[in-house]
Structure 1
């Protein structure tokens, strides 16, 4: 017999109680990022603002640290910084989602929160079926499923998922990530007047379309929005080969910018730009909040990328979400910066002005730690290169001759070697860095480029060491950041609210 969501909640609560001491002992637990209490977290889902609060849902396997049957975990916040865990929003308890409630989105309509998600179904022979499904809540805590609203259309495989719903000029639209029967990735478009009945309009963009060449066998996690007069399509294409400094992770997240014609179902766009140049970033999702800001959260991970060797799996959990980012369009570029609300975490400010760096490895008193925020302003860069370390095995470098910015970390699959990600950067002006035990997010030149990564080493020397091949002058600010996360076995109750 299929268990109710309340019975599933009880099973999870009991499992949390059984292993809470194991999880709490992990030195790599994060202080201010969203992570699962236990099990595996991946894609953010249903990012929305409802009844005065931010809601973020996420793909969750609470029973193991592997990709298995997925639930929708749920966090709620009134400030994007302090989050409370709510009960599971969606569980795979129906015939149309019995093998997983896969990724999707949320919208607010008629004072209700609508969740759209992909129901994953597998038969005994491993054959897949997928359905785009709907669930609705009046209080943002308890969701009532309405079942499938879209079946896979002709010409597409069951790799048809991740519905993102939005309103444009008073009309509801949905984009879905898809794979054609010819094995090409696409994003397809639907419209609706009531959020229940949807009309298929065909592909909006895809591999081999709109002047784009061969561009992957599957496009996941689409998101379409208009920002400062520009139409943006975010996608996660699968099947791209590395090309120089680009596409060096297993899967990728990025965007096209241009002009969408919703009547003709066309998208004139330019080149694809990766959103994040680091090792760990995938499946981002955006929303507009009550202040009119376009915000984005991503999964600080990457599909099939050495999850079994993450040291946190020994402590019965894995993965985290990125910090919320504010998106802006400026000078033909999508800029990403951490939301201003995060400044409330700051304490113990340290500031140094006009610091000269003219050789190997200098450190500054109190510019150290495992959980911190660092702001660096480059006043002068008369050097062929400038770098600084985070711990013993992670290094950030700007090569002025090659015009590249790089992040190097220890390779978990081969601890005798390092791995590196880089991007082209014509000049370096500012660096803003967030370190949180086992994660780092680096925002360069006021959000022009971003690097996100998980890093696993507890340094014997926590100092940050600066060096340069030439003369560099820096202004440096450093803050310790408050610890928000504590292991909590109590979920927010369905009836009491937040």
Structure 2
């Protein structure tokens, strides 16, 4: 361990020492969050030696962002988590200005991490076409906790000339005894694209080709992910620069996927957003020991400070991750649903009686709740769910909408999605985060929110249904 690493490690431990993952009005009960400072992209998601590993972009010294490290959580069951500390430090010539996003590959008793090292050259540069060095780096571990020396496996100098300096976020997988990598990129001329590399040994990588759309679909594609599900291949990207519309691309940046055609191409007309809420970006998927493909996303949004504020800043931390979601394909769409293990958080159950036109039940927001409403038959003009007198969800004229008051939303107002029919809805609500799953995960809304009191009336009206409401115990977070 270098002297710089020791200094960084010591300083982080000092500021984390007094951090309590359960202290604070808006500290979360079943979402992963940083001990202190800032969290963004989920990284290195994997199952390795009997545990789930979730790494994340971490800026411990500044709640508004700043120098990036990798934080690290592990779990045996996706329910209770241990914070393992800082895994990667910006302590080499390749990543002195930030350990940026990447992925993990568990193989041959070793865990491999691949990530982007960020270096910004001092001077008068735009840091898009010049002034930035973003090499792809690699480290190994035999226990999933301690990592060896970093090595540069693709130098910034060897990327294709038609790209700007914005190339990052490697995702690596194995297929037919060979290794593949996708990197997100920005072509000169402001067109998003993905670079594809191939290797026989994880050390030497050969550039193969580019994946992009015929016409520009955003100027940059971040956080690519390439995977197979139910015999179909998908490319997930987070494009920047799409024009906002009423029912899609509603945030400043988006995250979604293409189904890859037989010839390996993608079409912008096939792009489908992962999540329609205010706070979702940079998702990553992985396969666990049971063969499930799980997804975790960042419940945040870059460059949105003028639109939304996060009240957790006053508590010394910012942002969280979504709950793990299991993916499945139906009718050409990917459906997302909370991993089955999360049902273990359920405590007392209240059966909702739909014989009345309006169903009301008091909830404890500071604990979180799991609401499942099934067999919905909309009888009035619209079907609504509200909390504390404020509309949380509305379905009307084949449009699903979430909405928040000025206080609860902290700048977040409304987001919409077109849904031909509403069969069921599940709401996972935490102290300051809520995820809504429509029709078994056909449509998902994820957002941060900040109730102005801890005891609220939940009201459901406008339809016949079967419903259950569970209070949730909080996850156990240990350090």
> Could you say which TM-score interval applies, normalised by the shorter chain?
over 0.9
Cα-to-partner distance string for 1:48-74 (whole Å, 9 max, x where unaligned): 111111111000000111221100100
Deviates more, 1:94-103 or 1:195-204: 195-204
Matches within 5 A, 1:30-429: 30-125=28-123, 127-152=131-156, 153=159, 154-204=161-211, 206=212, 208-209=213-214, 213-259=215-261, 261=263, 266-267=265-266, 271-306=270-305, 309-357=309-357, 362-366=358-362, 369-370=365-366, 371-399=368-396, 401=397, 403-411=398-406, 419-429=413-423
TM-score, normalised by the number of residues in structure 2? 0.93
Deviates more, 1:36-45 or 1:154-163: 154-163
Show structure 2 runs of 5+ residues with no match: 126-130
Deviates more, 1:307-316 or 1:171-180: 307-316
CA change 1:167–1:268 in 2 (3 A) is farther
Q: Is the 8 A contact 1:368 1:464 kept in 2?
A: no
Q: Is the 8 A contact 1:347 1:481 kept in 2?
A: yes
Cα-to-partner distance string for 1:72-107 (whole Å, 9 max, x where unaligned): 100111111111011311100000000000000000
1:465 pairs with 2:459: yes
What is the distance in 1 between the residues matched to 2:310 and 2:265?
Answer: 42
**What is the aligned length?**
468
Task: Tell me by how many angstroms 1:437 deviates.
Answer: 0.4
What is the distance in 2 between the residues matched to 1:186 and 1:338?
Answer: 30
What is the distance in 2 between the residues matched to 1:247 and 1:146?
Answer: 38
Cα-to-partner distance string for 1:413-452 (whole Å, 9 max, x where unaligned): 996x861101001100101110000000011111111000
Q: RMSD of the TM alignment (CA)?
A: 2.2
CA change 1:11–1:312 in 2 (3 A) is same
Cα-to-partner distance string for 1:280-301 (whole Å, 9 max, x where unaligned): 0000000011101000000001
* 3-state SS, counterpart of residue 10 of structure 1: helix
TM-score, normalised by the number of residues in structure 1? 0.89
* 3-state SS, counterpart of residue 450 of structure 1: strand
* 3-state SS, counterpart of residue 91 of structure 2: coil
Task: Tell me by how many angstroms 1:352 deviates.
Answer: 2.7
2:128 alignment partner in structure 1: none
What is the distance in 2 between the residues matched to 1:268 and 1:322?
Answer: 28
Task: Tell me by how many angstroms 1:383 deviates.
Answer: 2.1
Task: Tell me by how many angstroms 1:461 deviates.
Answer: 5.2
CA change 1:458–1:413 in 2 (3 A) is closer
What is the distance in 2 between the residues matched to 1:420 and 1:274?
Answer: 17
Q: Is the 8 A contact 2:384 2:391 kept in 1?
A: no
CA change 1:356–1:3 in 2 (3 A) is farther
CA change 1:281–1:414 in 2 (3 A) is closer
Deviates more, 1:385-394 or 1:182-191: 385-394
